Amino acid sequence: MSGPRDFFRTDCQLMIFFVSLLAIVIQSECTAVDPTSLKNSSRLEVAIDSDAISGMGKPNSPVRFAAKITNPGNTSVTAKLDWSVNSVAITPAPEVDRMIQISHGKTEEFTKSVMLPAAGFVELTCRIQQNEKSKVIRKKHRVGCNPEKIHTPMTRQPDFDDFWKRSLAELRQVPPAFKSIERPDMSSDEIEVFEISMRSHAQIRVRGWLEVPRNTTGPLPAIIRVPGYGQNMKPTGKAKDMIVFSFNPRGHGNSQDDIPGEPSNFWIRGLDSPQAYYYRGSYLDCVRAVDYIASRTDVDQSRIAVWGGSQGGGFAFATAALDDRIDQCIADIPFLCDWINYFQLTHWPEMERWIADQPQRSWKSTLRTLSYFDTMNLADRIRCPTIMSIGLQDNVCPPTTCFNTFNRIPGKKIYRIYADKGHGLGKEHHAWVWKQLREAFHVPE
């Protein structure tokens, strides 16, 4: 005969049975779902390319851009497509939006032809939007032609030469007070590392890392490495046959005793006047770094190079322009070039906010100050051999601006264009530069 405890046990067993059965059904239904139905049915994938060989077309000829749009979802998608051209070399006719439809799992190609200029670069943007609430998909692609013939008027102010003559004279009035501290913790059996400090313009303390190969005889070539925007230059540990000075101008790396690195707003610091502008001091810091290298008896004074990327590329141009002791200039994806076209081709809210912050500021006054530090205006002073390398798809330092500096250099020069690279050229490029330096300075590999 069953008692209350038996009935309770039976009820619990039935409950467990039904819960288990329900879990099995739910699991079965979940595993039965077609995985393709889980795909994002509203997000299109876009890739854009052109028929320009290695990104370079023929002048005054059409180039064909192609946007391949893929719908990876399981439903057909309708979207709005439009094109826009960003270039200072051409003024294209306005485009009319069009509606497109991409079936599920399909890829469709849409094309547009653009007439290239006699010389210059053209960036085409393809924009896709499915509805007013959806995120716009943007893909850009840039091509060019005859970059070595790009030319824009210089923006030098009447006192430009006097400004730099006075600035260099002020630097010479500051005793450099070079100091060297050996760093065994950073050295190796092949390379000895030192932290070098010095005084620069306005008595600002700046530093860098010196690498000196051990067991060498005779003076060696020297490479001064200068930083990108906010970059902290450190020892490379690579050069066993050259002296390498990885230098940090004010506000960078180990040169922040007197000038802080944060906020990283270097390009608007002191921009109200050329005398107070950040880049006046940092350009002169780079010249002081050359002073240090020139003071060393183990450096071959006929084989001194300066090398940098982005802001460092601009520093390299400026250093070679302001100091004729530089024998080789390497500028990768250079910043600080051709400011007027720079602000036409790029958009930086930080600069716009800075100008709007004070009633006396304007684009005219801002560009006037920047003109003293525009490497395009300094370029005709560069007499040493120069190598410039760019990423054709660079949206931080557009190639047009880089070539408007490069093309004004009167000395021996070469350029290298990476058709698919943006604001960064990669390890293979760096290896190539080291090879170029060794060849230029006759250093056997």
First to last CA, the chain: 99
Q: Which is the catalytic residue, given 167, 197, 200, 310?
A: 310
Dist. CA 360–CA 4, nearest whole Å: 92
Q: Which residues lie closer than 8 Å to 171 by C-beta, 6 or more apart?
A: 200, 201, 284, 287, 288
Q: Is 167 annotated as catalytic?
A: no
- Identify the H or E element spanning 10: helix 4-31
**Residue of 141, 201, 252, 423 marked active site:** 423
Catalytic residue from among 323, 327, 374, 394: 394
Order of strands across the sheet with 220-226? 179-182, 191-199, 205-213, 243-248, 220-226, 299-309, 328-332, 386-391, 413-418
What span, in angstroms and rounded, lies between the C-alpha atoms of 44 and 166? 58
Q: Is 394 a residue of the active site?
A: yes
In sequence order, what DSSP letters do the residues of 17-84 get, joined into one string?
A: HHHHHHHHHHHHHHHTS-GGGGS-SS--EEEEEESSBTTB--TTSEEEEEEEEE--SSS-EEEEEEEE
Q: Any idea which residues carry the catalytic annotation? A: 310, 394, 423
